[in-house]
Structures are given as C-alpha cells and as structure tokens.
Amino acid sequence: MNKLQSDTEIAIEARKISFRYPDGVIALREVNFRIHKGEKVAIVGPNGSGKSTLLTLLNGVRRGQGELKVFGIPVTRENARKIKPLVGLVFQNPDDQLFCPTIFEDVAFGPLNLGLPPAEVHRRVEQALRNVGLEGFGPRSSFHLSFGERKLASIATILSMEPRIIAMDEPTSNLDLSHRRRLIRWIQQCTRTIIITSHDLDMILETCDRVMILNRGRITADGPVREVLTDRELLEKNELELPLSLQKN
C-alpha cells in the first residue's frame, strides 16, 4: 500500500460484485477492489469485459450482487439520494447527456435539481465550462458543436454538480488531437477521485496512478500504471497491446 492509500479515506469499496443482464449474459464475476480518495484509476480490458457495466454500478444506475460502498455509504436503493451527488458519470456518447436548448441549460440542469440558488448555479456553470476549455459556449446549442466540443460539454454537466468522484467511460474516443490534449490536461490537473475506462492506453499512462485490467468480468491485474502497461506478456494475455508510445518500430 502506498502513502496515498494509507493516508486517505476509501472512496469506493467493492466486495464480490457480480452482475448478470436479463438475457443471462454475465458481465461481472465477484469483483473486488478499493479506490482511495484522490486516486486516478483506469479500468482497461477488451471489448465486452464489463468495464462500462462496472461504471454504471458506482452511482446506482444499475444494481448488481455483492457489497459496494461509496465513502462508506452502501450503494442501495434506499441510499440513492445520497449516492448520486457523490459520483458523476460521464457516458461515452455525449448526446446521452446533452438535451437542452443551450449548453448553459445543460450544465445548469444538475445544480438546479439540487435546489441551489440562481447565483450559485451560474457560478458553477461558468466554472465548469472554464475547466473544460469551453468558456463562452453557454449560449450555444449542442447541435452546432463538434463531437469533441460536445464531449467536453458533457463533462462540464458533471463538473457543475461538484461530485467527489468522477467516472468517465471512454473519454477520449473519437476526439481530435486538440480536444484529446485539452482533456488530458484537465484530468492531470483535477484533484478529485477519477475513474476512467478506456482503450487509449497512452492517455492512461499520462493521467492515471493505477490501472486495473478487467477481462471476462474479472480483475486480472491491479497495480501502478507504468508497471502494468509495460508488461507485454500480461497485456497480451488480456487481449491488449503495449501503449503506442512504448512500441518499437
């Protein structure tokens, strides 16, 4: 256990978490892990390994079997109102989160539903847009933004809620180089607990402290990011390749 883990509280604790879809497909099989406050943790693995499913369990979008706690609070139906403000989930497709006439209204939607006063809502919206590099985009419609700009706007809708944990599903997928670099800088500077699922292993190398490999619903590796992502044999066993920046021509 490193100093960060020994000196801080547990943000997420999962014990024997399993999930089966209604059609019988098993997505997760007795998954166990702890994530500490302030950690930046990546979850990587082949398609269909259960990564996205695991993220949706963290704030109660889906419910599985086993014991899952967020800052010591069990993730249960009874605790839904306590859990949802703690974990902000950024979906892979930004259009799943942008539905209002303007970006300002999209980003303000969460804080308004928290019952915050107008002045505080406005402050949070402006700060969230500034954090993702979309300052001045408030009056614009998401229909007139590029995919990368919509992706950043969807992150802003979560930041305005000021959750203690931010979970992002494939945040750099389909981003152009400039928007990818902007997102990487933001993740590096963020001090909240962050959990990322991604196939972009080079981005993971730049942003995360730790990586878990999820394969066929089970965690097959969990360790420091550079230790795990430089182990060619381990990656190949889990249907992954070395990050492009580490591959020799």
Catalogue all structural domains in the chain, each as residue range(s) with its CATH number: 1-86+207-242 (3.40.50.300)
DSSP string, the chain: --HHHHHS-EEEEEEEEEEE-TTS-EEEEEEEEEEETT-EEEEE-STTSSHHHHHHHHTTSS--EEEEEETTEE--GGGHHHHTTTEEEE-SSGGGT--SSSHHHHHHHHHHHTT--HHHHHHHHHHHHHHTT-TT-TTS-GGGS-HHHHHHHHHHHHHTT--SEEEEESTTTT--HHHHHHHHHHHHH--SEEEEE-S-HHHHHHH-SEEEEEETTEEEEEEEHHHHHT-HHHHHHTT----GGG---
* Tokens of residue 12, six digits: 């997420």
Q: What is the pLDDT along the chain (249 residues), one digit of tens a residue?
A: 444 444 569 999 999 999 999 999 999 999 999 999 999 999 999 998 999 999 999 988 888 999 999 999 999 989 988 998 899 999 989 988 999 999 999 999 999 988 999 999 999 999 999 988 899 999 999 999 988 899 899 999 999 999 999 999 999 988 888 888 888 998 999 999 999 999 999 999 999 999 999 999 999 999 999 999 999 999 999 999 999 888 875
d(CA 74, CA 59): 10
